[in-house]
């Protein structure tokens, strides 16, 4: 097991259906094979377990993501690489997340880019169909905005890249940042 004094948080943002969780899980699997401690924090899982009362208005999303940021920070400061997979549609909320996490550990914003048209075509959970019929309020990309990152640390374009290409690109980035951060850690004693 490779023990890190502290680990970075890699925050994957993008539309529902863009491939955030798929990529996070694939990369986590590879990191575990190498011997790293890693956690995937996924929006669906967090809403089912830790934060079942979370809503979807901007204020409710902000509170929900603030809680997740603190969980990610706690894990990372204890040497667990965190791959956080959340739509997190608003730039100001992502900035708040960055500020919470960067007080103690490195934070990297990963934009999982995919057009709303392609996400509607994929629609793995049938959510876009429901949103288009008006059955889901505050649905990002349909009745609520998605504000793409202006200067993400990495962009993976899941519309143009295969899952394997995007996962490989993300894995290489994660490994390079983990190694760089480990080299820059002050040594004890």
Residues serving a catalytic function are 88
State both tokens at 173: 């980035």
Helix, strand, coil share (%) of the chain residues, nearest 5: 45, 15, 40
Which residues lie closer than 8 Å to 83 by C-beta, 6 or more apart? 10, 12, 24, 27, 28, 38, 39, 40, 41, 174
């Amino acid at each position: 097991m490779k023990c890190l004094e502290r680990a970075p948080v890699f925050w994957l943002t993008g539309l529902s259906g863009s491939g955030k969780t798929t990529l996070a899980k694939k990369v986590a699997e590879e990191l575990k094979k190498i011997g790293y401690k890693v956690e995937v924090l996924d929006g669906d899982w967090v809403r089912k377990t830790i934060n079942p009362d979370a809503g979807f208005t901007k204020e409710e999303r902000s509170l929900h993501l603030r809680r997740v940021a603190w969980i990610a920070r706690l894990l990372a400061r204890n040497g667990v690489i965190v791959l956080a997979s959340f739509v997190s549609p608003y730039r100001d909320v992502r900035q708040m997340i960055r500020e919470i996490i960067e007080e103690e550990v490195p934070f990297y914003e990963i934009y999982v880019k995919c057009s709303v048209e392609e996400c509607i075509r994929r629609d793995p959970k049938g959510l876009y169909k429901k949103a288009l019929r008006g059955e889901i309020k505050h649905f990002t990309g349909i009745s609520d905005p998605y504000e793409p990152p202006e200067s993400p640390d990495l962009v993976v374009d899941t519309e143009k890249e295969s899952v394997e290409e995007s996962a490989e690109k993300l894995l290489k980035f994660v490994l390079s940042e983990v190694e760089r951060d480990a080299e820059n850690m002050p040594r004890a004693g």
